[in-house]
């Protein structure tokens, strides 16, 4: 782990505080000799770079202490700079420097005790032997260790608080990013749902309108009453589609999910609408109906709607469409089969299936969203089949 970089403002603050400390210690150093002044400069330098480079700060502090002991000087005011250096080693140093700071605190206490209780007295001509001297040495060592290790521990505590604050900040950032991702996902899901509904409503209605308009155009001269009936059907389908689009736009505008949605009982109206457009639908329902949730019923309705719409747009309208619902204990099997027009059948034979369209993709997505499956493909006999399996509502009654 490397040292934590600091800003220029913090570096300027450290330099100013170090100079203030140096001015406070200068009068005491002037009472000594040149060694005291040199040691003071080293300790002030160590304080100035204590956060910029804790290793250098620790090394310069040791150099200052070495100069002081080599000159056989007593304790001075500038020695308190060691506390700031040890604090910074624990608070801002890397892994190695942090533990070197602790080792320096304990080793420095031992060296200071030996220097003050044995080396300095010998240099001054005083015998360092005796019970009182040993007791004094033990007291000095314990007090030095307590003071130096306390400074180091305070730095370690500040480091822990800072690291904890950083962890909480990162957790908050991660939570915000996760919330944003969930929000974007829900928005995308809602947009896809509205896009599917818009496609189902608009594509189906336009297919009916086109079929009726083409029929009215061909019979307008020979059978005016049929043309009038077709125009009436076009008007009704367009009004219904407009109402459905307005409901979808209201959901998009107001974020309301309570708009009426089609269910299984609405299949009759859907089949009648397609039959009115000139497409014969043979509907067969076998088995006893099982309970389906609202979402499952919507999926069945929309898949049938899209299947009939594709049959009206791409199929041979002269031949009937087979719609079959086979109920099982596990749910319902849905099948929509229609004969393709010659041009569509040729395209299917060359590409393997009718070109992948948004509608088929939407049908497959609707089935998968309710836990079901869907296969839509052209058969070699020129029949396009949509096979879907929609599960029953979990826990639903038979």
Give the DSSP letter string of 148-180.
Answer: HHHHHHHHHHHHHHHHHHHHHHHHHHHHHHHHH
- The CA distance from 359 to 150, in Å, is 73
Q: What is the C-alpha radius of gyration for the chain, rounded to an integer number of angstroms?
A: 44
> Three-state SS for 377?
strand
262-398 topology per CATH? Heat Shock Protein 90 (3.30.565)
- The CA distance from 143 to 128, in Å, is 19
- The CA distance from 24 to 255, in Å, is 69
- The CA distance from 6 to 53, in Å, is 10
Do 279 and 304 touch, CB atoms closer than 8 A?
no
Tens place of pLDDT per residue across the chain (398 aa): 445 567 888 889 989 999 999 999 999 888 888 999 999 999 999 999 999 999 999 999 999 999 999 988 888 899 999 999 999 999 998 889 999 999 999 999 999 988 888 888 887 777 666 677 788 888 889 999 999 999 999 999 999 999 999 999 999 888 888 876 776 776 577 667 667 766 666 666 777 777 777 777 777 777 777 777 777 777 767 766 666 666 566 555 544 445 567 788 888 888 887 887 778 889 999 988 888 877 788 889 888 988 888 888 788 888 899 999 999 988 999 999 998 887 765 555 544 444 445 678 878 888 887 888 999 988 888 899 999 999 886 544 33
Domain ranges of the chain: 8-175, 262-398
pLDDT, tens digit, for every residue of 208-258?
Answer: 777 777 777 777 777 777 777 777 777 767 766 666 666 566 555 544 445
Measured in whole angstroms, the distance separating CA 138 from the mean position of its chain's CA atoms is 59
């Amino acid at each position: 782990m490397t040292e934590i970089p600091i800003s220029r403002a913090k570096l300027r603050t450290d330099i100013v505080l170090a100079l203030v400390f140096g001015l406070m210690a200068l009068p005491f150093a002037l009472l000594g000799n040149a060694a005291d002044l040199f040691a003071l400069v080293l300790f002030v330098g160590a304080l100035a770079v204590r956060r910029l480079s804790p290793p250098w700060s620790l090394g310069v502090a040791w150099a200052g202490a070495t100069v002081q002991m080599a000159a056989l000087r007593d304790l001075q005011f500038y020695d308190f700079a060691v506390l700031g250096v040890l604090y910074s080693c624990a608070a801002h140093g890397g892994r190695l420097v942090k533990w070197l700071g602790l080792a320096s605190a304990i080793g420095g206490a031992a060296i200071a005790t030996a220097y003050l209780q044995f080396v300095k007295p010998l240099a001054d001509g005083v015998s360092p032997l005796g019970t009182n001297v040993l007791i004094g040495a033990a007291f000095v060592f314990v007090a030095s260790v307590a003071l130096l290790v306390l400074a180091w521990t305070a730095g370690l505590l500040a480091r822990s608080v800072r690291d904890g604050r950083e962890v909480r900040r990162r957790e908050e950032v991660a939570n915000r990013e996760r919330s944003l991702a969930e929000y974007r996902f829900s928005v995308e899901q809602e947009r896809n749902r509205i896009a599917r509904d818009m496609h189902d409503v608009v594509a189906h209605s336009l297919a009916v309108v086109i079929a009726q308009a083409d029929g009215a155009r061909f019979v307008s001269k020979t059978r005016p009453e049929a043309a009038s009936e077709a125009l009436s059907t076009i008007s009704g389908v367009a009004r219904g589609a407009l109402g459905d689009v307005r409901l979808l736009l209201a959901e998009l505008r107001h974020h309301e999910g309570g708009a009426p949605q089609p269910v299984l009982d609405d299949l009759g109206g859907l089949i009648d609408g397609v039959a009115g457009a000139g497409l014969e639908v043979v509907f067969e329902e076998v088995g006893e109906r099982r309970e389906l949730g609202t979402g499952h019923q919507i999926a069945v309705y929309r898949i049938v709607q899209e299947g009939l719409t594709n049959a009206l747009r791409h199929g041979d309208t002269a031949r009937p469409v087979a719609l079959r619902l086979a109920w099982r204990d596990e749910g319902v099997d849905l099948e929509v089969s229609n004969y393709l027009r010659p041009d569509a059948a040729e395209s299917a034979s060359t590409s393997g299936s009718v070109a992948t369209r948004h509608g088929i993709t939407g049908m497959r997505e609707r089935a998968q969203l309710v836990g079901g499956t869907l296969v839509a493909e052209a058969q070699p006999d020129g029949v396009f089949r949509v096979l879907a399996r929609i599960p029953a509502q979990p826990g639903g009654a038979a």
